[in-house]
């Protein structure tokens, strides 16, 4: 006998279901259209090129849960619910195919396979829901805020699954379905109901069947009116992701005369993708619990920023000062922790930088200390405001070649402003020059012709200043025919490598940790004496998260014979030192000091040495060490300084 079941057993007037279905579809369609209408208000942005690359990346993220699973517990929770619901939805489609199109799918061996599959899917969903409920209401997990809609969504899903199981159990119990054993959960429930008389079973079945159907259709209608909209928007958002280099801020055309407003001033200045992002956000809070600004009690939360954008998407008028607090806009260190964590690939930093652009370029409204910094950079080519004539002072007596005075070098050593003007970081530059010499690399510096790379200006929204620096630098670099650069500053590195191409730069840039790691590996640089001891390493945001360089610095540490004690939050979960995004040049008025927080993490490792690979990190951590009064016990160094110590033999580098 062919295995199957009667679809509408015990149900009269099932035609009403079509009516309910139409209602749900209208609620769904109306909700989506309303949001679509709002997204359409945004500016244009092309996020539909390279379709196959996009699809491939999206498949891994959506079906494979690559990002979501980074957090074990909630990853598994979502994976169970996701695949559970997808499977059950597919099962429902099978039923619809049979009932409405008359296709005989629910038959035979396929039907028998479908039964346990759907049962397991329901069970998986239920387990996922239990984890979700316990995380949200019992454990009150970090980063989650409980709104009534969260409860409704969970209750709807749980109601659908539980009523589905009971309906199945009731049907099996009342029809003595011979294929019932293929539904393990249904048959177990039926067994439990065995003692109830048939009449009651049939009546209960009828009620629960309709309940199940109503809940399921209600769920569909509720999608666009709640965070469930992410079922639609999240996969699309991963498809529409940015395919540019992670560390690059999108370019801005300042030359275009037709453009009257730069940056984000009103809601219409966002791109449609920015607005779409807000509807993809699921309020998971992963961005927030990794945001250094938020954790140091500044008035910025990337989650709140995106949610506020969502809430006010239909508004008119200004964004900064109304939808987003002014101080929040300036609190971001552009560390990228939010974007690295976000499971639905919301792009926070470009929005924040665009808002800063609006404030700087159109309103000239920014924290007052930046006035001096911008002017310094404008007239002296560096934010320190020291004369360009002092730029190569650090190299006095070190016999470092200047590009203009010798044959074309293999590498241009791009020193950067901190390495040129900051006393402490000048010693790193000296160490770096020593390493390059010992490795026999022919290098030169631009000397006084080097100008700030512009990283800080761009991230502070001063695109005009940034672009004038880019132009100046590219002119000089191209003038000397330079294509290969090495730098110890992750900010210079990222900007030269990922942002200069936006303005015609074509540079091969390498970070000093990468170059040193290569030189140690190839044997061009030989270690005289291993150093010993323990060291902890601060992953700089701009080589780590923004450029995925995590191993080269660790290879160096290993080669030095030093034991590495990782801090709480390393690799892509590293916690910013607080100086990125132009924060180096701003005062910290509110909340705790970010650098002190990070220094505490470093001190927790009990290492005698804190190694940085970034001049800002070095400055900030050294300040933190002094603040903690630990400067007699712990030293802060750049990796290059450790390397020269080991290469020259101990105690030699100072």
* Smaller CB separation from ligand SF4, 76 or 162: 76
What whole-number distance in Å separates Cα of residue 553 and Cα of residue 551? 6
Centre a 10 Å sphere on the Cβ of residue 203 and count the other Cβ atoms it contains.
13
3-state secondary structure of 484: strand
First to last CA, the chain: 89
Q: How far is the CB of 71 from ligand SF4 (least distance, A)?
A: 10
Q: How far is the CB of 370 from another protein (least distance, A)?
A: 8
Which of another protein, ligand SF4, none has residue 463 at its interface (CB below 5 to 8 Å by kind)? Answer: another protein
Residues within window 386-425 making contact with another protein, judged by CB under 8 A: 386-389, 393-394, 421-424
Which of ligand SF4, another protein, none has residue 385 at its interface (CB below 5 to 8 Å by kind)? Answer: another protein
Q: How far is the CB of 218 from another protein (least distance, A)?
A: 51
Residue with tokens 């449609």: 272
> Which listed range, 139-147, 220-228, 284-292, 616-624, lies at the site for another protein (CB under 8 A)?
616-624
Judged by CB under 8 A, which of 426, 491, 512, 545 binds another protein?
426
Helix, strand counts (H, E) of the chain: 26, 8
Mask for 87-126, x = binds another protein (CB under 8 A)? ----------------------------------------
Q: Report whether 316 contacts 267 (CB < 8 A).
A: yes
Sorted by sequence, the CB contacts under 8 Å of residue 147 that are 6+ apart come out as: 283
Residue with tokens 């942002």: 499
- The reply on whether position 620 binds another protein by CB under 8 A is yes
Which of another protein, ligand SF4, none has residue 284 at its interface (CB below 5 to 8 Å by kind)? Answer: ligand SF4
- The reply on whether position 338 binds another protein by CB under 8 A is no
Cα angle 236-241-242, degrees, rounded to a multiple of 5: 160
SS3 letters across 224-261: HHCHHHHHHHHHHHHHCCCCCCCCCCCCCCCCCCCCCC
Which of ligand SF4, another protein, none has residue 632 at its interface (CB below 5 to 8 Å by kind)? Answer: another protein
Sorted by sequence, the CB contacts under 8 Å of residue 533 that are 6+ apart come out as: 562, 563, 607, 608, 609
Mask for 547-586, x = binds another protein (CB under 8 A)? --------------------------------x----xx-
Judged by CB under 8 A, which of 109, 364, 481, 522 binds another protein?
364
Residues in the interface with another protein (CB under 8 A) total: 48
Q: How far is the CB of 632 from ligand SF4 (least distance, A)?
A: 32
Q: Give whole-number Cα distances, 409 to 404, 405, 412, 448, 524, in Å.
A: 10, 11, 6, 17, 18
Question: What DSSP element (H or E) covers 41?
Answer: none
Q: How far is the CB of 305 from ligand SF4 (least distance, A)?
A: 7
Which of another protein, ligand SF4, none has residue 426 at its interface (CB below 5 to 8 Å by kind)? Answer: another protein
Centre a 10 Å sphere on the Cβ of residue 461 and count the other Cβ atoms it contains.
30
* Smaller CB separation from ligand SF4, 265 or 334: 334
* Smaller CB separation from another protein, 507 or 625: 625
- The reply on whether position 260 binds another protein by CB under 8 A is yes
Which of ligand SF4, another protein, none has residue 336 at its interface (CB below 5 to 8 Å by kind)? Answer: ligand SF4
Buried-state track 620-653, b at ≥16 Cβ within 10 A, e below 16: bbbbbbeeeebeeebbbbbbbbbbbbbbbeeeeb
Sorted by sequence, the CB contacts under 8 Å of residue 18 that are 6+ apart come out as: none
Q: How far is the CB of 42 from another protein (least distance, A)?
A: 22
């Amino acid at each position: 006998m062919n295995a199957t079941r009667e679809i509408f057993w015990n149900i009269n007037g099932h035609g009403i279901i079509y009516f309910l279905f139409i209602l749900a579809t209208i609620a769904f369609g109306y909700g989506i259209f309303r949001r679509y209408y709002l997204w359409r208000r945004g500016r244009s942005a092309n996020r539909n090129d390279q379709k196959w690359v996009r699809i491939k990346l999206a498949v891994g993220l959506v079906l494979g849960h690559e990002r979501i699973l980074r957090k074990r517990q909630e990853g598994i929770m979502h994976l169970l619910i996701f695949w559970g619901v997808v499977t059950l939805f597919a099962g429902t489609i099978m039923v619809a195919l049979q009932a409405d199109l008359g296709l005989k799918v629910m038959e035979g061996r396929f039907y028998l396979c479908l039964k346990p599959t759907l049962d397991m899917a329901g069970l998986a969903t239920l387990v996922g829901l239990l984890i979700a409920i316990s995380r949200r209401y019992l454990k009150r997990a970090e980063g989650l805020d409980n709104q009534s809609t969260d409860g409704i969504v969970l209750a709807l899903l749980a109601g659908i699954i539980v009523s589905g199981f009971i309906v199945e159990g009731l049907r099996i119990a009342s029809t003595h379905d011979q294929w019932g054993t293929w539904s393990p959960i249904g048959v177990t429930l039926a067994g439990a109901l065995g003692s109830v008389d048939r009449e009651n079973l049939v009546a209960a079945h009828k009620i629960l069947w309709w309940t199940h159907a109503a809940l399921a259709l209600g769920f569909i209608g509720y999608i666009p009116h709640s965070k469930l909209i992410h079922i639609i928007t999240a996969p699309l958002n991963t498809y529409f992701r940015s395919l540019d280099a992670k560390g690059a801020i999108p370019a801005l055309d300042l030359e275009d005369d037709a453009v009257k407003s730069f940056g984000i001033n009103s809601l219409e200045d966002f791109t449609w993708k920015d607005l779409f992002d807000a509807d993809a956000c699921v309020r998971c809070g992963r961005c927030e619990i990794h945001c250094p600004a938020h954790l140091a009690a500044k008035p910025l939360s990337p989650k709140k920023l995106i949610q506020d954008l969502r809430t006010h998407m239909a508004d008119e008028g200004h964004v900064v000062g109304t939808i987003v607090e002014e101080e929040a806009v300036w609190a971001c260190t552009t560390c990228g922790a939010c974007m690295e964590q976000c499971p639905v690939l919301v792009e926070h930093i470009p929005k924040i930088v665009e808002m800063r652009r609006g404030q700087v370029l159109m309103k000239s409204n920014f924290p007052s200390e930046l006035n001096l910094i911008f002017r310094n950079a404008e007239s002296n080519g560096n934010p320190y405001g020291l004369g360009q004539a002092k730029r190569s002072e650090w190299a006095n007596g070190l016999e470092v070649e200047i590009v203009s005075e010798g044959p074309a070098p293999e590498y241009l050593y791009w020193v950067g402003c901190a390495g040129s003007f900051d006393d402490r970081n000048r010693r790193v530059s000296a160490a770096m020059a020593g390493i390059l010499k010992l490795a026999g690399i022919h290098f030169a510096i631009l000397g006084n012709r080097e100008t700030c790379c512009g990283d800080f200006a761009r991230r502070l929204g001063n695109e005009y200043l940034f672009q004038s620096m880019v132009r100046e630098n590219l002119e000089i670099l191209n003038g000397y025919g330079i294509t290969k650069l090495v730098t110890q500053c992750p900010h210079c590195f990222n900007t030269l490598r990922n942002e200069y191409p936006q303005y015609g730069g074509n540079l091969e840039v390498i970070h000093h940790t990468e170059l040193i790691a290569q030189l140690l590996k190839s044997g061009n640089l030989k270690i005289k004496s291993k150093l010993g001891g323990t060291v902890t390493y601060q992953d700089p945001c701009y080589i780590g998260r923004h450029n995925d360089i995590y191993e080269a610095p660790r290879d160096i540490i290993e080669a030095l014979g030093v034991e590495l004690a990782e801090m709480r939050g390393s690799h892509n979960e590293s916690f910013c030192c607080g100086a990125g995004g132009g924060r180096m040049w701003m005062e910290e008025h509110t909340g705790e000091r970010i650098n002190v927080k990070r220094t505490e993490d470093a001190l927790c490792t009990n290492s005698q040495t804190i190694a940085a690979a970034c001049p800002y990190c070095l400055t900030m951590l050294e300040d933190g060490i002094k603040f903690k009064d630990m400067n007699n016990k712990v030293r802060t160094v750049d990796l290059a300084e450790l390397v020269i110590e080991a290469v020259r033999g101990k105690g030699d580098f100072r």
